[in-house]
Amino acid sequence: MNFDAFFSKDLVFFLNASSQEDVFKQMFHRMYEQGYVKESYLNALSEREKVYPTGIQTEHIGVAIPHTDSIHVNKESIGVAVLEKPVSFIHMGMEEHTVEAEIIFMLAIQKPERQLGVLQVITGLIQNKVLLQSIQMAENEAAVIAIIQEYSQKLNV
C-alpha cells in the first residue's frame, strides 16, 4: 500500500470550526468539489459517527478519524484538518467521554480491504507525540504533507 498516495496538499485544512458537523461540512465540500467523495458522503459520515464515534485522546492531543463506507467514495484520500480551536467528538469505545479534537484525519477509502491497514498506520502516527505536535504546528499544507511522508517512508508503507 502506498500510504503517501492518500494525501494531497489540496486536502489539508486549517479550520476555524464551531462543531463536529462544521468540521465535516467544511472538509466534505472540498473533497466533494474535487471528486473524491460522492454527495452521499457527508450524511453517511455523520450517521456513522453517531453509531461508531471516532474521537481518540492521545497523550497530549485529541484526534478524530471519521470515515464511512466505501460506496460513498469516488477516489481514495485522507483529508487532514488542523483546528484553530478544539471541537468535541465522542470518544471511540467510551461513549460517556468526549475528546476535544484538534487534528482530524477524514478517511475516504474506496477499497474496504485497505481500511484496516490505513487505520493501523494512522494509529501509529497519532501515537507519536512529536509527529502530532509537528502537524499541529505546521505553517502550511506542504509542511503537513512532508511530515506525513517522512513518517510513512520510515514505515515503508
Is beta strand 77-91 parallel, antiparallel or unpaired with respect to 62-64? unpaired
- CATH number reported for the structural domain that contains residue 45 in this entry: 3.40.930.10
Cell output for 116: 484496516
User: pLDDT tens-digit profile of 70-93?
Assistant: 999 999 999 999 999 999 999 988
Short-list 24, 73, 26, 18, CA closest to 46: 24
Output the average pLDDT for the chain: 91
pTM: 0.93
Range of the domain at 94: 3-155
Cell 473533497 sits on residue: 31
Q: Please identify every stretch of the chain with a pLDDT value under 70, giving residue numbers as ranges.
A: 1, 156-157
How many folded domains does the chain comprise? Answer: 1
Q: What does the pLDDT read at residue 140?
A: 95
Environment class of residue 113 by beta-carbon count within 10 Å: exposed (0-12), middle (13-18) or buried (19+)? exposed
